[in-house]
Amino acid sequence: EDAERINSADVAVVEERRRLLDEWLAWREAVEEELAEEREILGLPADLVGELLKAKTAQIAPDQEEVTVE
């Protein structure tokens, strides 16, 4: 009987965590979507820092094409 009680407590904990995880992921999805929309309205690139770094590289070495080293 004890074992059963412990077991059902565990199940409740796990179910609560599952609920929290689902809730979190749903919230993140909504926020990311909204952010992408707002960014688009403002005409900002998705990878803002990537664009800034590209501009910096171009400024340092204006005549060189981007070279990918593999």
Partner 1 sequence: MRPILLSGHERALTQVKYNRDGDLIFSVSKDQQICVWYAHNGERLGTYHGHQGAIWTVDVDPTSTIIASGSADNTIRLWDIKTGKCLKTWEFPTAVKRVEFNEDGTKLLGVTEKRMGHLGTIVVLDIIVDVDAEQSDEKAMTIVCDESKATVAGWSYLSKYIIAGHEDGSISQYDAKTGEQILNYPIHELDNAITDIQWSQDRTYFITASKDKNAKLITAKDLEVLKTYVSDTPLNSAIITPKKEYVVLGGGQAAMDVTRTSARQGKFEARFYHKIFEDEIGRVRGHFGPLNTVAAEPNGKGYASGGEDGYVRVHQFDKGYFDFMYEVERERANRIGVTA
Interface positions, 2-61, toward partner 1 (CB under 8 A):
14, 17-18, 20-21, 24, 27, 31-32, 35, 38-39, 42, 44, 48-49, 52-53, 56, 59
Are 36 and 46 a contacting pair, CB within 8 Å?
A: yes
Torsion angle of the four alpha carbons 42, 43, 47, 52, in this order, in degrees rounded to the nearest 10: -100
Closer to partner 1 by CB, 1 or 43: give it.
43
Distance separating alpha carbons of residues 61 and 19, to the nearest angstrom: 52
Which residues contribute to the site for partner 1 (CB under 8 A)? 14, 17-18, 20-21, 24, 27, 31-32, 35, 38-39, 42, 44, 48-49, 52-53, 56, 59
